[in-house]
Amino acid sequence: MLEIKSNDEKNPARILVIGVGGAGNNAVNRMIDENVEGVELIAINTDKQALSLSRATTKVQIGEKLTKGLGAGAKPEIGASAVEENREEINDIIKDADMVFVTCGMGGGTGTGAAPIVAEIARNLGILTVGVVTKPFSFEGKPRMANATNGIAKLRENVDTLIVIPNDKLLQICDKRTSIPDALKKADEVLQQGVQGVTDLINKPGLINLDFADIQTVMRDKGIAHIGIGHGSGDNKAVDAIKSAMDSPLLETTVNGASDIIVNFSGNVGIVEAYDAITYLSEVAGEEANIIFGTVDNDVAGEDVSITIIATGLEDVEKGNVVGSTKAAPKAPTFGISTPTASVSMPTMPNLGGAKKATPVPLNLGNEPAMPQETPHQMPESSMGGGANQNLKIPDFLKRS
C-alpha cells in the first residue's frame, strides 16, 4: 500500500539523542562534528572524566554516590543501579520530548546497564523511543558478548524500534589502513543518518511533507528496524539510490518482510523516477508493506538524488540472516495503474524535480545482501491490472481547488 502525504505547516517535534556510556557519548560528539540539526543532544555517564569530554548541551553524571565518578567497571548491574540514582532528573529532562533516540555500545557497564532504564523512563512518558546500539567485536570475548546480548534483550523490551550494529561488520568495509577511531565513526554514521533522516522529514519543507504522526505510524511498537541512505545519478538514479539505501552493509537487516517503510527523496527526482524506485522497494519488501514517501527541499542544486529509508516491523536477526519469517516470496506491488500499453491514464502529478540536493552523508556500501533484479525493472502485466480494490491514494495537494 502506497501512501502520499502532503501538508503545508508543521510544528517542529522535540527530538532528543541520548548517548549513554563511553560509546554513546562518542556518538553524540560525532553528531556535533557533523552539524546534525533539529535535535537536542544529551550525554549520560558514570565516568566523570569521560563525561567532561562530551560536548553535549546537557550532561548527566549518574550514580555519583555508587561509583564516585569512576565508572561502572564493565559491570552492567552497576550501570543499572547508577541510573536509578538519577531517575527523577532524567525524567524531568526528557518529559516534554516527542521522540528519543537512546544510543550506546553494548557489552560494557554503563551503556549496557543504564540504557534500557533510560529507554524505560522515556517510554513510560509516552515518548516514541528508538534504540541504536552496537554489539562488540567477536574478538572482545564471550563475557562481553554475553553482556551485550542480555543488554540488547532488555533494551528491546523498552523501545518502540531497535537498530543493532554489529562491530564485526566494520571489518567488511574497512581496510588495513583504517584506524580504530575512523572505523568506529562509520558505525556512528548509522545513528547520524537515521536521526537526520527523521528530522529532515519532519522539520524541513518540501513539496510532499510528512508529519510526526507518520513517523509514529512507522516506528511505534515495531521492533527491529532497518535504516539506510543511498544516492544516485544518471538515467537510473532513483532506483540506484534506493538499492543503495536498502543495502546497508553495517546492519544485519534487510527490508524483506517489513510492515512499514518511510521513503524520503532529496534532490532532483521526477514522478516516474519516484514510482520506479518505490515499485522496486515494494517488490523486495512485499506488497503488504505500508510505504509512505515524502520529499524535502535542499539548498544545493544538482541533478542527483539521495534517498533515506526507514523500514520497521522486521523479523529477528541472527548471525546476519533474517529468521522466523513465514512470509512468502515478495510479489510485484499493485497500485491500480495499468501497464503502459493499456489505455488508462496515470493521474497528473507535479514534477518533484524542483527540490535541490544537499550533500548526503555517504554510507560505505558493501555487497550484501544482494538485491534482486539488477536489470531495469519491467512491471509484470499480471500485477498491474486495475481492479476495483486497487485504487491509488490521491495526494492532498491534488485535491486542493
pLDDT at position 37 is: 86
The answer on 109 and 44 residing in a single domain is yes
pLDDT at position 50 is: 96
Taking the C-alpha atoms of residue 65 and residue 73, their distance in angstroms, rounded to an integer, is 15
Residue 90 lies in a domain: yes
The answer on 259 and 228 residing in a single domain is yes
Average predicted confidence (pLDDT) for the chain: 80
Residue 384 lies in a domain: no
The answer on 180 and 70 residing in a single domain is yes
Residue 387 lies in a domain: no
H-helix or E-strand spanning residue 260: strand 260-267
Residues of the chain with pLDDT under 70: 1-11, 298-301, 315-401
| Domain harbouring 269, CATH code | 3.30.1330.20
pLDDT at position 53 is: 96
pLDDT at position 315 is: 64
The pTM score is 0.75
- Which range of residues forms the domain containing residue 198? 13-203
- For the range 54-58, what are the long-range contacts, defined as Cβ-Cβ under 8 Å and sequence gap of 24 or more? 54/19, 54/25, 54/28, 54/29, 55/28, 55/29, 56/19, 56/25, 56/28, 56/29, 56/32, 58/93
- How many domains does the chain fold into? 2
Taking the C-alpha atoms of residue 157 and residue 150, their distance in angstroms, rounded to an integer, is 11
The answer on 38 and 150 residing in a single domain is yes
pLDDT at position 2 is: 55
**Radius of gyration over alpha carbons of the chain, in Å?**
21
Taking the C-alpha atoms of residue 295 and residue 307, their distance in angstroms, rounded to an integer, is 9
In Å, how far are 46, 65, 197 from 85, measured between CA atoms?
A: 11, 8, 34
Residue 343 lies in a domain: no
pLDDT at position 334 is: 35
